[in-house]
Amino acid sequence: MDNTAKSILFVANVDWFFISHRLVIAEKAIAKGYKVFVVCQDTGRSIEIKKKNIEFIDLTISRSGINPFKEFITLMGFYKIYSKIKPDIVHHITLKPVIYGSIVSKFLKIKHVVNAVSGLGYSFTKNRKGPVQKLMILLLRFGFKRNDLSVIFQNEDDKNIFKNLKIISNRNQIFQIKGSGVDLLAFKKSHLPSFEIIKILLPSRMLWDKGVKELREASKMLEVKYKSKIQFILCGLADQENIAGVPSSYLDDWQDGSYVKWIGYKKDMVKVYQDCHIVVLPSYREGMPKALIEACAIGRAIITTNAIGCRECVDEGVNGLKVPIYSSKELAKAIEKLVLNTHLIIEMGENSRKKAEKEFSVTDVVAKHLKIYESI
């Protein structure tokens, strides 16, 4: 590697999130001549990052922790790493790295900062307000108050919230990129499986904020009438480290192996999407959910909420249906509407693929990120 090459430091919470959402951007940056570092917690998948000629640095960043002593230790971890590497560009991904990284970068006078806001996290759902949220806003304002700081939003709502909270200003460069994109070749449009049993997939970490409770209640409402005709598939890990994590006991109690199946985490999501008819995500809030972008690419009808981030993935009545947040009853009605009309499932699936090709190509997402790096 050329010693004069510019360096980019990516900072995320955990290795698996970086792999699924930003690794392809890091690979392209290397191909363009950048030296790339990645800082995040190693949960066992760091080898996948190291294989890409990326220097990996393990740092535990509690996603939900608010213990002042532990958070100070984490902040000092940021400071030591940034002081040692002295990157030309630092790209923060997810909210806690954005907050801590922006503060440290400001103190150390790191040349250029890119902050990716992929949703506002647990503290901003269900209209939560309290001292933690107030502190987060103050820290964000402090970290963002500088020149040479770019902010990437995934949706218009988050951008407006940051403006209204006076976190971003004219000193910052603002960009809007729809999520992390999807590889349209890897996630090819696929034929629907047999309609003998209509399979409804929830592809998500098992968090309360993803609408797990609402989906369970909806499944109970439909059970008597449709138990032999539909199947709910829950695909995702029980994220016990997350403050909003659903206990595995709750999921085990819900599943029966036939009407409801919890299949846990699956690395090959293409096969999981291919084996379903409808993708459902009754989330309370998102940045731009990767699960729905992938569902679009595979060509599946979608049922989601009218929440920030989710609503951008569905054109109502065209490629899916949107229901109010927290409404199990409306969710059950939407599921029933599609179950009773297989032609609608097929038509919406076709439209989902068209939407993915038009709006969610990972090639476009990567190109936009590289353009940001090159412009600064």
Sheet bearing 89-93, strands edge to edge: 55-58, 35-41, 7-14, 89-93, 112-117, 149-153, 173-176
The pLDDT of residue 1: 42
**How many CB atoms are closer than 10 A to CB 74?**
19
Q: All domains of the chain, ordered by start, with CATH?
A: 7-181+361-375 (3.40.50.2000), 198-359 (3.40.50.2000)
The parts of the chain modelled with pLDDT lower than 50 are: 1
The pLDDT of residue 192: 98
Distance, in Å, from the CA atom of 19 to the CA atom of 24, rounded to the nearest integer, reads 8
Structure-block tokens of residue 192: 């629907």
Query: Model pTM?
Result: 0.88
The pLDDT of residue 312: 93
Tell me: the pLDDT tens digits for 69-94? 888 999 999 999 999 999 999 999 98
> Among 272, 289, 265, 282, which Cα is nearest to 187's?
272
Distance, in Å, from the CA atom of 202 to the CA atom of 262, rounded to the nearest integer, reads 10
The pLDDT of residue 133: 81
The pLDDT of residue 372: 96
Under a CB-based contact definition with an 8 Å cutoff, are residues 162 and 141 in contact?
no
Structure-block tokens of residue 63: 């996603």
The pLDDT of residue 346: 98
Q: Which residues of 314-329 are buried (b: 16+ CB within 10 A; e: fewer)?
A: bbeeebbbbbebebbe
Tell me: the pLDDT tens digits for 118-136? 766 555 555 556 677 888 8
The pLDDT of residue 272: 98
The pLDDT of residue 65: 65
The pLDDT of residue 118: 78
The pLDDT of residue 367: 97
Contacts of 171 (CB under 8 A, 6+ apart): 145, 146, 147, 149
